[in-house]
Structure 1
Amino acid sequence: NILDGTIHFLEQQTGIVAERHPGGQYVMDNSYRRRIDAMQYVISHDDGQKTTDLSKADVVLVGVSRTSKTPTCFYLANRGIRAANIPLVPHAPLPVGLEDFRGLVVGLTIDPHTLLEIRRSRVGMMLPGRSIV
């Protein structure tokens, strides 16, 4: 086994004998299945997709673009929480399905100056060589 030397070294340094159960960190129990289900839910309900099907969400995150809705949803999914995220667009109506959702809705905010800097940086990456003022 390619890791035998490393495992032996770690055993010597820590004084703890390793349990040799290949694949032991990948226990496929109910918790694992819940996390996978939550990840699939996040992917199919990212950025305002399938807003008419929010009934299975544990939480819905709303906010303007660049408030870290997607990363937060994946963080929650890794803990087995089904999260959808819906962008809020100024002067646009709320997406169909959001007003009917009876679960937890959490609004994410961001400092306007920080948001402006993030957006400038993103535009700069898309248009190399152009300075954005």
Structure 2
Amino acid sequence: MRLCDWWQGPRLFILVDDYDMVGGGPMTQPFAPLLDHLALGHEVGLHLVVARSSAGAGRGLNEALLRRLQEVNTPGLLMSCPPSEGYLFGSVKGRELVPGRAVRIARRKTLQVQTGLVGDAL
């Protein structure tokens, strides 16, 4: 499955930055057409990367897109986040981390990782 060597079509990468500002309220759900395709994204060449601020992250998990991503066991990367936000990925609670560190959550298993830093081109 990881190699996806059977897939012959195009790959679609959707990058969403500042998801909390996009507007995921009940009247504005710009990603609603994708919700049914997320479970089989690896089979149809669909890749979705969503980034959001840690402020209000606990409340934000009730939005349709983020809830669906959790339902289909999408891996997550939790950067530094105040513990007061509560549980964000199943039984994983936010915590303060040094810059560049993160917790990778995959199928409710956690692993602390160090993210890479790409310097400016000279």
Richer in helix (by share) = 1
Richer in strand (by share) = 2
Structure ranking higher on relative contact order (CA contacts 8 Å, 6+ apart):
1
Interval containing the TM-score (normalised by the shorter chain): 0.3 to 0.5
| Larger-gyration structure (1/2) | 1
State TM-score, norm by structure 2.
0.36
State TM-score, norm by structure 1.
0.33
